[in-house]
């Protein structure tokens, strides 16, 4: 029996892929983005983690199958970094495809090529985080390995770029500048990726840090108002990208 370590399940999710979806948040993340809104998903072990067999998880997901069908929705797996549990994840995705579900995976890109290759056949949509294109900055702030992340991006985009959406967390003090947006737009264009979601920084997760007994190190910024991002979005539009805020 294959199990998944699940931190949360959100039904009627309407922001993580098309239609009405169920999002399964998997536990564990190799990164340590200081602004992270879900710090509880970072550790592989945590008191609230539920260990759920794939079978059981799938039957729970299927309880809303007709909502997905009628709305063009489906299953999204997020995290944490879901590909950390790639064997069970691939199993879940494979079974979900057998059930006719549309599948999406949201990833930081920080996982092995083996993990991506295992999941690739069963994913209809990749929600791929692009935090920074600058290797050093990326590594310093988040602990991510630029080479691995963008290697994986090229792997999945090489397969079918229409199945990839960039997710751009916009973090003041980190990547809120023309240079960053320009380079991400250029990256998208070079890979044939048309769709980008802009995710403004928010502080809704800050209280979780205190509850977990960890320090919130990204102090000093308030949640971003969308109008700050309009100029960047406009730039994307002007380049013919499908960019959503």
Partner 1 sequence: MKGKEGALLFNVEQSQNVEQSRKFACEKPLMEQLEIMEEYTAVHRSMLDSSKEEREVACLKVIFPRLLRTIQDQDLFAGRLDFLPVGFGTVTSVGGVGHYCVFRKLRTFQNELPEEERHRVDALYEYWLDHDLKTQYNKEVLTPDTIGMFIDCNYPMIATARLSGMMLDYPKLLANGIGGIRKMLQDKLSCDPENKFHKAGLECLEIFVSCAESLRQDALRQMDTCTEERRPELQRIMDGLETVKEEPPRTFHEALQLFWLYALLAGVINYGRLDDYLGPYLAADLREGRLTDEDAYRYMKCLWTMIENRRTTVNGRVIVGGRGRKHPEDADVFLHYAMRVCKDTRYVEPQFTLRFDRNTSEQIWDEALDAIGAGATYPTLYNDDVNIPAVEYGMRVDEKTAEQYVPFGCTEFVIQGQSTGTPNICINLLKILTIYMNGGVDPVDGVRKDGGVPIKPLEEYVSFDDFYDGYKMLLDHYLDLSVKAQYHSYEVMNRNVAFLFTSLMVDDCIERGKALLDGGIRYLGGTNETYGNINASDSLWAVNDLVFRKKKYTLRHLHDAVLADFKGYDDVLQDCLACDKYGNDLDTADGMANDLYEFVAKGVRQRGIDIGMQYFLIVISNNQLNSDWGNRTAASPDGRRAFMYMNPANNPQGGANRNGPTAMLNSLARFDARYHAGSVQNIKFSPGMFNGNRELIKALFRTYFDRGGCHLMVTIVDRGQLEDAMEHPEKYPDLIVRVAGFSAVFVELPRNIQEELLSRVLYD
Helix (H) or strand (E) holding 159: helix 146-159
Q: Which is nearer to partner 1, 103 or 108 (CB)?
A: 103
CB of 96 to partner 1, least distance (A): 17
Smallest distance, Å, CB 14 to partner 1? 6
Report d(CA 160, CA 95) in Å as an integer: 21
* Residues 87, 62, 17, 206, Cα dihedral to 10°: -80
Judged by CB under 8 A, the chain residues 68 through 87 that form the site for partner 1 are 69-71, 73
Query: 74-78 and 195-200 as β-strands: parallel, antiparallel, unpaired?
Result: unpaired
Nearer to partner 1, 75 or 83 (CB): 75
Q: With beta carbons less than 8 A apart as the criterion, state whether 164 and 152 touch.
A: no
Rg from Cα positions in the chain: 17
- Which one-letter DSSP state was computed for residue 225? P
Residue (62 or 206) nearer to partner 1, CB: 62
Q: Looking at the DSSP assignment, which residues form a beta bridge with residue 198?
A: 168
Which range of residues in 67-75, 120-128, 148-156, 183-191 is near partner 1 by CB under 8 A? 67-75
Give, as ranges, the residues between 126 and 155 that touch partner 1 (CB under 8 A).
Answer: none
CA-based torsion, 129, 134, 139, 145: positive or negative? positive
Choice between 135 and 205, CB closer to partner 1:
205
The two tokens of residue 177 are 């500048």
Q: Could you say which of 4, 6, 20, 196 contacts partner 1 (CB under 8 A)?
A: 20
Single residue of 43, 46, 55, 67 touching partner 1 by CB under 8 A: 67
For partner 1, the binding residues (CB under 8 A) are 10-12, 14, 19-20, 63-64, 66-67, 69-71, 73
């Amino acid at each position: 029996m294959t199990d998944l370590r699940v931190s949360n399940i959100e039904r009627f999710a309407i922001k993580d892929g098309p239609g009405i979806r169920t999002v399964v948040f998997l536990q564990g993340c190799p990164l340590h983005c200081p602004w992270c809104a879900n710090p509880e998903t970072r550790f592989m072990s945590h008191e609230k983690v539920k260990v759920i067999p794939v079978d059981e998880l799938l039957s729970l997901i299927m309880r809303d199958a007709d909502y997905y069908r009628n709305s063009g929705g489906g299953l999204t797996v997020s995290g944490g970094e879901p590909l950390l549990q790639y064997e069970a994840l691939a199993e879940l995705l494979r079974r979900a495809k057998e059930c006719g579900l549309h599948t999406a995976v949201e990833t930081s890109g920080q996982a092995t090529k083996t993990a991506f290759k295992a999941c690739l056949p069963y994913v209809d949509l990749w929600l791929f985080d692009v935090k920074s294109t600058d290797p050093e900055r990326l590594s310093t702030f988040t602990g991510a390995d630029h080479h691995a992340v963008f290697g994986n991006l090229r792997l999945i985009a090489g397969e079918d770029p229409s199945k990839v959406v960039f997710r751009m967390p916009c973090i003041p003090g980190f990547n809120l500048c023309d240079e960053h947006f320009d380079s991400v737009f250029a990256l998208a264009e070079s890979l044939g990726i048309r769709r980008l979601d802009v995710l403004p920084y928010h502080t809704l997760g800050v209280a979780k840090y205190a509850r977990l007994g960890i320090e919130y190190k990204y102090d000093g910024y308030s949640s971003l108002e969308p109008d700050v991002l309009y100029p960047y979005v406009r730039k994307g539009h002007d380049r013919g990208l499908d960019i959503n805020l």
